[in-house]
Copies of this chain bind each other. A is one copy, B any other.
């Protein structure tokens, strides 16, 4: 089966519609998707940014929120800006990484819906623990695993890996042959690429 990686960051607005779309788009194309949570902070810091570029460049921020509104309207999903924006995504990313398979993608979608669909804060333990409970996952054990030194180190390694393979923003779809497709609006193209590549290399 063809496969691709879906790199996402919980503070990233465009990762919200992408997280809601990627599973069905991948299924239509026969592509299996590995969900890879990471943090844009280190990548932005390397570019000299200490805040979201949508805050540093207000005209781009205004454009992005309007573009997001049109995108969400077209999908029939709600959009509500959380305050502050961006939300701290560190704990959510650690938790997502501590989960596996469907649990990871289910939890991640719930975080995005809470954050950008309902405008709720997603930085604190009680909020994230409640989302874990709704996923049918034990919040205490999961938070413990999420905050273990091993898991913290794993998230750091994932961030380094993202930079290394050319992930320049979020979301990114990365194919087995190393092509990077950046943006919610590149999901279809990236998944098509993954499916076509598989067709070429299959016996």
Contact = CB atoms under 8 A, between A and B. Distances in A.
Interface string A29-71: 0000000000000010011000000000101101100110010
Contacts of A168: 57, 59-60, 63
B57 A182 contact: no
A185 interface: yes
A40 to B, nearest CB: 12
Contacts of A59: 43, 46-47, 163, 166, 168
A180 interface: yes
A60 B172 CA distance: 13
Contacts of A46: 59
A70 B63 CA distance: 26
Contacts of A43: 59
Interface string A154-166: 0000000001001
Contact of A63 (B47, B62, B180): B180
Contacts of A180: 63, 66
Given A47-B57, A57-B47, A182 B67 contact: yes
Nearest to A58: B47
A179 B71 CA distance: 13
A166 B63 contact: yes
A163 B62 CA distance: 12
Interface string A117-147: 0000000000000000000000000000000
Interface of A: 43, 46-47, 57, 59-60, 62-63, 66-67, 70, 163, 166, 168, 179-183, 185-186, 189
24 contacts: A43-B59, A46-B59, A47-B57, A47-B59, A57-B168, A59-B163, A59-B166, A59-B168, A60-B168, A62-B166, A63-B166, A63-B168, A63-B180, A63-B182, A66-B179, A66-B180, A67-B181, A67-B182, A67-B186, A70-B179, A70-B189, A183-B185, A185-B185, A185-B186
